[in-house]
Structure 1
Amino acid sequence: MSWTSSTGVVLRDLVPAALRRSWVAAGYCPDRDLYSLFRSRVAAHPRRTAVIDDGRSMDYASLDRAVRRLARLLRGYGPSDIIGIDLPNGREGVVAELAVAAVGAVAVHLPDGGSPVVSTVITDVSEALEAEGDAPWSPVAVDPEAPARILVSSGSEAAPKLVAYSHNAFAGGRGNYVRAVHGATAVPRDLVLVPLASAFGSFGVAITLCRFGGTVLLMRRFDAAAALRVVAEQRPTHVFGVPTMLRRMAAVALTGAGSSTVDTSSVRAVVSSGDVLTPETLSAVRAAFGCPVVNIYGSSDGVNCHTSTPEHGVGRPDPAVTDIRIVDGEICALGPMTPLCYVDAPELDERHRLPGGWVRTGDEGYFDPGGTLHVVRRLKRVVIRGGYTISPAEVEQALGSHPGVAEVACVPVPDRDLGERLCACLAVHPDHHPPSLGQLTTFLTERGISRRKLPERLVVLPELPLGRTGKVCLRTVTRLAAEQHGAAL
């Protein structure tokens, strides 16, 4: 299948069509578009709470009315358009995402502004939220295998990758892993601590609401104490966050008595993803919440495996989500959740997809005799700060243009709270004074480097150590950075 947007972006499904249809036949995918699934939930329970943010709630009927009002405002856009969303992490983003689905367009959250691939960007939904009454409007019929959502990844590449998913891949494959996480919970109440714009948080609308008819609880800005108040007051069944968030919540909850001082009795599972879940964090979260902790190994590129016993690997592949195989030591995935392709980047498809649509994860792994997947290490060089993935190469490239920098390597230094922080290690030209960390971050900001990617540590060396091949020895640089800053785990 091939799809062309009004801006000239061509999306090709790299998975054979017959394989896609076999997943539908097996019941792995609902074979319906996201908005039609949502409308079924509205019809079934119009007064059930759909969204809670900052203590405010909207039921399904009210939410759908706002969605329809915004859809009318989007007249002129339709199935050939990619529509950007640049809104706060709350009901605004939910309404916008559903309205884009309602007009048959493709949604992409753009937390850092615009993108050349989009036809328009939604930056205000106040008219749709504040108006009264319903809007006479009919939804657009959409092929379930057509693109529905673009996830933005800031993984190991110098620039974020855009990954296109179909309705079936989202509601089906991705939905199936969320269903497994929910277990026997018929009507989930999901506290999603990560942004809807993130790959991890992207399930909030398409799956919690459209697929399962549950309630999604959102926070515009994460704060550990505030998140615990939401747990106590709003009674979620599941809490989703990156390890740094969960570790901070556990620290607050366990202050004083060594057991949780907050009522977490409603929580049936805490779900972690986006970074390595250390044994210390796992133990603290279990003690604070008194329930299973589910660890998810996954990415926006199209892989997922999860387990409630992270001590023994990252889980067993679920064919309803994705099959996993090891190819030359690398973890590769293909299944109902597999995305269509990368957006406007055939070179990424060439690099990260194998024949038949298999996704290359860039991670080294193996299966133990019991069939459980173990992740050994990342083959890609990345720094993960509190669940946010930073490309050292991107920062190095920008710093290399600084007039005073002769050599530079960016490496992780361990950090108790965030897991890792980025450290810039550099040698300066003889005729320049060593720049301060503040001067370097100002320089990077002026060159468009996101605030979350800025180095937080600095090491200045006479010259960077080299390995036997003549390249910078990153292992030695990393050791020197850790020794200087002394941030042992």
Structure 2
Amino acid sequence: MNPTATRHTDHIPADLRRSWAAAGYYPDRDLYSLFRGHVERDPGAPAVLDAEGTVSYAELDELTRRLAAGLTQFGIGFGDVVAVQLPNDRLACAVDLAVAAVGAIALPFPLGRGDRDAESLLRRSEAVAVLTVADHHGYPCAARIREHSGTLPALRAVIVVGDEQVQGCVPIHALLAPQASEFVQKAIDPDGPARILVTSGSEAEPKMVLYSHNALSGGRGAMMAGLHDGPDAMRNFFLVPLASAFGSSGTPVTLATLGGALVLRPAFDPVATLEAIALTRPTHLLGVPTMLRMLLDSPAIHDADLSSLRAVVLGGSALDPDTARRAREVLGCAVVGLYGSADGVSCNGGLGGYDGSVGRPDPAVVDIRVIDSDGATVPTGSTGEVVARGPMSPMCYVNSPDLDASLRTPDGWTRTGDLGVIDGDGRLTLVGRRKDVVIRGGLNISPAEVESVLITHPAIRDVACVSVPDPLYGERVCACVATAADLTLADVTAHLAASGMEPRKFPERLLLLPALPLGAAGKVDRQALRERAVNEGTDPVLPQQRIPGND
């Protein structure tokens, strides 16, 4: 058995993984070894251009190896889960690489997740360490995680980044070994676990999806490489957090696999983003459609130098034709809408232009089928559930045998819950989704999670959360509440805040009803509620502090 073998099961047959390696779909090397190859080839090449300036591949490797030596001294190694909650900067990249270098499993999750999500992720993943900041917009991240240590028996250390001391936490400088030479890498299986991607939440708790080194560098690497047609290396400006599922195409793919450069800023701001584009000259801009709409609506865009951009790549929610058209006209580059998820599906229309579909599946990334309720492939042009399997397929859901049983087939296909049609030319068009989820500006919000907290309010008899359309964010959440009390939206959100839920998941409309309507089967009629929410939802939409998941 190889040294990275863990308790986690790979639901893709091993011989199928090996066939993808033989076909050249996998580089068949671990992520850190791939990164080191770029360091040796061009040590002075820019790796990260963040708010502090530019760091080269050699400089980033120096920091990475010092961190890896420190992790080793802390007893962290093969198969251990290390959670990472850091802003978009060079340190986040170095930590990702260091965790990979010691054979551990990175669990990145964005700043801004509330106590409930953070505690749940750390507990269910059995993380042995977490690296986080002392303070994020007044919220004491490290201290709050330390307070939950009693419910986290596997957690050995909270490592804190920041100038202030946090009682019970290890300062980041104590993790850094004096010399990079103190770290010596051991052999790592490229089919072994490397990173856990966290979904935004289509269930009451976010799903955690485990990826191997090969699935990240191979499948996801092929997807990113297919979006670049220039002679020089990609220079990717990630507007989304590197700690998000979308952001997994940052350090493991852009740096380790492709040898490109990352442009990073700690938070999204339209004017600052336009200034950074002119300064850093990225080839690709990666974000969610809401961010693109905000950039297009900014008066500063008319004076911005955007000539370096070859493509804007958008994920997280559907790209509408009007936004795609406006972006092509204003930015003068390709606009690509990604269809994908942490669960292991990815498809896009490439650089040729948006045609309403999500493109043709690439076998180097993932094969896609459309099936009926019995699992049989439906005829061309017919609607069915989208399922996916290929080089980017994840290993499993972390410590969730129920999800593995319900969402993975015995031969490794992933059920997405999305409904689609494949036409005669092999193009996939999405027509809906079975998953009950609200997508607000690229953030998946679980109605079930919000409802589970609201129902504990003493004045609420019943509750259902539904989506209402929004021209900026795509969708917002409306809480439909059965109550006799004169509740306000502020009352509802105050109850959620007291429970520890992050503000990004709060409802932004409220519909008060004497009772929730029921359908013929006796279940809550959510479609009727959506119609009433659009027409009768009370209280103004509350302003949200920041774009979800990007601060």
Distance, in Å, in 2 between the alignment partners of 1:2 and 1:135 is 25
Structure 2's unaligned 5+ residue stretches are 133-159, 162-171, 373-383, 542-551
Give a deviation string over 1:376-399, Cα, whole Å, max 9, x none.
101111101100000111111221
Letter in structure 2 aligned against 1:242: V
Indicate which of 172, 193, 196 corresponds to 2:218: 172
Asked whether the equivalents of residues 51 and 91 of structure 1 are also in contact (C-alpha less than 8 Å), the reply is yes
Aligned length: 478
Counterpart-to-counterpart distance in 1, 2:127 and 2:261: 29
Residue in structure 1 matched with residue 89 of structure 2 by the alignment: 90
Amino acid at match of 1:279: P
From 419, 433, 455, the counterpart of 1:378: 433
Q: CA deviation at 1:238?
A: 0.5
Q: Give the letter for the 2:127 counterpart.
A: V
Q: Shift in Å at residue 161 of structure 1?
A: 0.4
Tell me what 1:160 maps to.
206
Q: Which residue of 2 aligns with 1:50?
A: 47
Give 1:129 shift.
Answer: 10
Contact (CA 8 Å) 2:32, 2:97: kept in 1 or not?
A: yes
Equivalences for residues 94-243 of structure 1 within 5 A: 94-111=93-110, 112=113, 113=118, 115-116=122-123, 117-123=126-132, 124=160, 126-127=172-173, 134-243=180-289
| SS of equivalent residue, structure 1 residue 330 | strand
1:485 Cα offset (Å): 4.7
Q: Does structure 1 residue 471 correspond to structure 2 residue 471?
A: no
CA RMSD of aligned residues (A): 2.1
Which among 5, 8, 12 is matched to residue 11 of structure 1?
Answer: 8
Give CA deviations for 1:415-450 in whole Å, capped at 9, x if unaligned: 12111110101111x4xx232211211211222322
Q: CA deviation at 1:261?
A: 2.7
The one-letter code of the counterpart of 2:530 is T
The amino acid of 1:143's aligned partner reads D
Answer yes or no: is 1:335 the counterpart of 2:390.
Answer: yes
| Deviations 1:116-172, CA, capped at 9 Å, x for gaps | 221111234653899876433211210000000000112311100000000000000
Residue range with higher mean Cα deviation, 88-97 or 144-153: 88-97
Per the alignment, do residues 108 and 443 of structure 1 end up closer, same or farther by CA in structure 2, a change over 3 Å counting? Answer: same
Separation in 1, partners of 2:507, 2:197: 25
Identify the range of structure 1 (339-348 vs 151-160) with the bigger mean alpha-carbon deviation.
151-160
Report if the CA contact (8 A) 2:274-2:300 is conserved.
Answer: no
Code of the aligned partner of 2:495 = F
Equivalent residue in structure 1 for 2:311, among 263, 266, 269:
269
> Structure 1 residue 286 and structure 2 residue 286: aligned?
no
Say whether the 8 Å CA contact 2:85–2:243 is kept in structure 1: no
Q: Kindly indicate whether the alpha-carbon contact (under 8 Å) linking 2:271 and 2:300 is maintained by their aligned counterparts in 1.
A: no
Partners of 2:76 and 2:104 within 8 A in 1: yes
Q: Give the corresponding residue for 1:443.
A: 495
**Aligned-partner Cα distance in 2 for 1:128–1:58:** 22
- Rounded Cα–Cα distance in structure 2 between residues aligned with 1:317 and 1:271: 17
Residue 359 of structure 2: aligned partner: 315
Q: Is the 8 A contact 2:4 2:103 kept in 1?
A: no
Identity %: 49
Cα distance in structure 2, aligned partners of 1:270 and 1:81: 36
Matched-pair contact (CA < 8 Å) for 1:325–1:333:
yes
| Aligned twin of 2:533 | 481
- Structure 1 counterpart of 2:61: 64
Q: 1:72 to 1:242 in 2, by over 3 A?
A: same
Bigger mean CA offset, 51-60 vs 364-373: 51-60
Amino acid at match of 2:56: D
Q: What does the per-residue CA deviation read over 1:313-372, in whole Å, with 9 as the maximum and x for residues that have no partner? A: 100000000000011110000000000000000000011111210000100001011110
Counterpart residue number, 1:426: 481
Letter matched to residue 377 of structure 1:
G
Q: Could you tell me which residue of structure 2 aligns to residue 326 of structure 1?
A: 370
The structural deviation recorded for 1:29 is: 0.4
Structure 1 pair 312–435 and aligned structure 2 pair: CA distance change class (3 A): closer
TM-score (norm 2): 0.83
* TM-score when normalising by structure 1: 0.93
